């Protein structure tokens, strides 16, 4: 998609973004490595997003960010036709995943995560 609009998401098309706050951006610990159903999605840096297609049903998300130690988390997510946006955010003790179905504030400053 050249221009991301909330109306174009859903029915299996899902935007996943890194919602890291300023504290993780400053110390360079905000990069998230993500796996979905044991398949590597890749790394999403702060203020980056990806758009993927997922079938409806339960999916297991795993997230890892490196702080003083490896901060790992696992999340079971139920995907349905109305699921549009997922926010994954590193925090002090782990990672938090939230189905928001809303684009983040200042989304114009986000960029698509390029293949590295």
C-alpha span between 70 and 76 (Å, rounded): 20
Model confidence pLDDT, tens digit, residues 71-116: 899 999 999 999 999 999 998 888 999 999 999 999 999 999 987 7
C-alpha span between 24 and 32 (Å, rounded): 11
User: What pTM, to 2 d.p., does this model score?
Assistant: 0.91
Q: Strand, helix or coil at 54? A: coil
Assigned CATH topology for domain 9-112 = Immunoglobulin-like (2.60.40)
Model confidence pLDDT, tens digit, residues 3-42: 899 999 999 999 999 998 876 666 777 889 999 999 999 9
Mean pLDDT to the nearest integer, 52-74: 92
pLDDT at 64: 93
pLDDT at 45: 92
Using CA atoms in the order 87, 91, 95, 101, what is the torsion angle rounded to 10 degrees?
-10
- In angstroms, the first-to-last Cα distance of the chain is 20
C-alpha span between 10 and 15 (Å, rounded): 9
């Amino acid at each position: 998609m050249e221009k991301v609009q909330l109306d174009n998401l859903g029915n299996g098309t899902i935007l996943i973004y890194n919602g890291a706050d300023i504290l993780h951006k400053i110390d360079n610990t905000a990069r998230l490595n993500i796996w979905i159903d044991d398949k590597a999605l890749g790394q999403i840096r702060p203020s980056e997003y990806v758009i993927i297609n997922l079938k409806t049903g339960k999916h297991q998300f795993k997230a890892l960010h490196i702080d003083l130690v490896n901060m790992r988390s696992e999340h079971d997510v139920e995907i349905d036709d109305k699921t549009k946006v997922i926010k994954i955010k590193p925090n002090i003790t782990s990672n938090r995943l939230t189905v928001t179905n809303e684009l983040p504030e200042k989304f114009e400053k986000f960029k698509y995560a390029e293949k590295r």
